[in-house]
Structure 1
Amino acid sequence: MTPVLFIHGLWLHSSSWAPWMEMFSAAGYDPYAAGWPGEPDTVEAARANPDAVADVGIDDLVEHHAKLIAELPGKPILVGHSFGGMFAQKLLGMDLAVAAVAIDAAQFKGVLPLPLSSLHATFPVFRGPSNKHRAVSLTEEQFRYAFAGAVSEEESRELWAAWAIPSPGKPLFEAASANFSPHSPATVATRNAERGPLLLTMGGQDRTVPEAITKAEYKKYRDSGAITDLHEFPDRSHSLTIDHGWMEIARDALDWLDEQGLGR
């Protein structure tokens, strides 16, 4: 069976991938999901010890997942959300995966749009320079704006209670300065023509990674001969991997993998 490594982004625990893992397992894949460096095994433990993930940056996270990949029984498919989507693209560009699905992926170096909603969604981190070296939590209200604007208030509260954890601020600071840094860790090898297929998925109601960012990412691959596809879900927000409609996104990813002829 082909291994699939699920990579989460900021403010979600790795256990949020559990429904996806069940679905991919039933479809014949071998699913794995691991937390970020220092991330405790449960949401409750992560909330109780936010310092465990403080000061972890993009290079740390990419290296962490590269080591996980090396321990898998074969070269995996990567499925990443938000910053996990950026990491999936970096790792694919490093030829460490056979394919990747990047869902509402955080912007990388060379991607220029910076919508106001993105600034608002990430303000809890950027409000203080010291947050670069700290872990930051989202309140219920902040989570609703950044993640769950396309679902009911009740569902947003349930999602926050179930999955939201503190996350390091450093990756956001690194991504924000990427276009001014010649050696930014937020660099992706978009011109690698030998890499495996890539699917970029975006939610049209996403405030954290608005469609302008994902479309700009897609354009960065125009000089690559490798397969790069873009799928849009106009009525979905940043919570599209965990809210009541997650199965539609997962099924679309499975169908796309079938189209690429990637074995299970």
Structure 2
Amino acid sequence: MCAAVLDVIDKGSATATHATPLLFVHGAFHGAWCWDDHFLDYFADRGYHAVALNLRGHGGSPLPSPINELSVFDYVGDVSAVADRLPVAPVAIGHSMGGFVVQKYLAVHPAPAAVLVASAPPTGIAPATLRVARRHWRQSMRTRSFSRPLDFFAAPGVSRSTFYHSATPDEIVEACTSRLGPESARVLYRDLLFRHLAQPKSVTAPVLVLGAELDGFFTPREVAATAKAYRTEPVMFPGMGHNMMLERGWESVADHIDRWLTAKLR
């Protein structure tokens, strides 16, 4: 557990219509800001208590040890610590690596529901990592991608093709890339590759699985496999890249989550 209090962005309050809080978990290199640009206000305005945390070493959250020593269990502990501070167990909503963290959290913590947004599959990210490395092999050779993965993922062209699609306005891509921060190489290149994979059979909460047609990281087939593992069907959004909460058309993603939660949490 992280001894110091984690940094969170907290908006809205519970209402009779939406009594269950929402806990948003960001992906690799990102922070709570990726939810704050659009999603937190959207859900707060609709009567939800919406909370986004910064995992340790991200945003304003403390870094108690070198970032490359952090494990996926540290991140699961962060989610648990923030969830425990809420009045009732929250709906856990995770993006990309944060979706994997949510899957690990769900295997050992009760939750009323969960949403996986362009999430890493329960079987890990080895195929996706190889695809991205092959696509940008020149940048991979020029950067210290294994010890400082941010050097690679923030490199010119890599951020756009991984997190967005070709038609995304430059200002959106540049605003995201400028806010990317360091990430744990241990989490990306050990835990999520082969060491500590998810356990869908241990998860009892209903799970909504959302994917992006033009995701530069996870393919539609991988999204479908994730949904199958959680005994559901995927919902794919056309014309969107990996950062579905920041892409143009993010409202359609938020609308779908809102409708699904309203139906599931009656």
Q: Normalised by the shorter chain, which TM-score bucket?
A: 0.7 to 0.9
- The match for 1:17 is 35
Cα 1:60–1:127 change in 2 (3 A) is farther
Note if 1:56 corresponds to 2:70.
Answer: yes
Note if 1:192 corresponds to 2:202.
Answer: yes
Task: Note if contact 1:7-1:80 (Cα within 8 Å) is conserved in structure 2.
Answer: yes
1:88 aligned to 82, 102, 126, which one?
A: 102
Q: Which amino acid aligns with 1:241?
A: M
Equivalent residue runs for 1:78-117 within 5 Å:
78-109=92-123, 114=128, 117=131
Q: Which amino acid aligns with 1:205?
A: L
1:112-141: per-residue Cα shift (whole Å, max 9, x none)? 865864444787997699755545241242
Task: Note if contact 2:25-2:32 (Cα within 8 Å) is conserved in structure 1.
Answer: yes
Q: Which amino acid aligns with 2:198?
A: T
Task: Note if contact 2:118-2:211 (Cα within 8 Å) is conserved in structure 1.
Answer: yes
SS of 2:209's partner is: strand
Larger RCO, structure (CA 8 Å, separation 6 or more): 1
- The match for 1:65 is 79
Task: Note if contact 2:30-2:58 (Cα within 8 Å) is conserved in structure 1.
Answer: no
Q: What number of residue pairs does the alignment pair up?
A: 244
Q: Which runs of 5+ in 2 are unaligned?
A: 1-13, 15-19
1:48-89: per-residue Cα shift (whole Å, max 9, x none)? x9x964432211111221121111111000111101111122
- The match for 2:25 is 7
SS of 2:227's partner is: helix
Q: Which amino acid aligns with 1:10?
A: A
Q: Distance in 2 between matches of 1:173 and 1:107?
A: 15
**Deviation (angstroms), 1:211:** 1.3
SS of 2:181's partner is: coil
Cα 1:96–1:124 change in 2 (3 A) is farther
Q: Distance in 2 between matches of 1:34 and 1:124?
A: 34
1:210-256: per-residue Cα shift (whole Å, max 9, x none)? 2121112222234xxxxx34211122110211122211111111111
1:18-45: per-residue Cα shift (whole Å, max 9, x none)? 1211111111111111111122339xxx
Q: Which amino acid aligns with 2:32?
A: S
Q: Distance in 1 between matches of 2:40 and 2:233?
A: 23
Normalised by the length of structure 2, the TM-score is 0.78
Once the two structures are overlaid, the 10-residue window that deviates more, 122-131 or 202-211, is 122-131
Task: Note if contact 2:70-2:184 (Cα within 8 Å) is conserved in structure 1.
Answer: yes
Q: Which runs of 5+ in 1 are unaligned?
A: 179-183, 223-227
Note if 1:238 corresponds to 2:247.
Answer: no
SS of 2:69's partner is: coil
1:78-119: per-residue Cα shift (whole Å, max 9, x none)? 111101111122222323321111011112237886586444
Paired-residue identity, %: 23
Q: Distance in 2 between matches of 1:32 and 1:82?
A: 18
Note if 1:147 corresponds to 2:163.
Answer: yes
Normalised by the length of structure 1, the TM-score is 0.79
- The match for 1:211 is 220
Q: CA RMSD in A?
A: 3.2
Note if 1:221 corresponds to 2:230.
Answer: yes
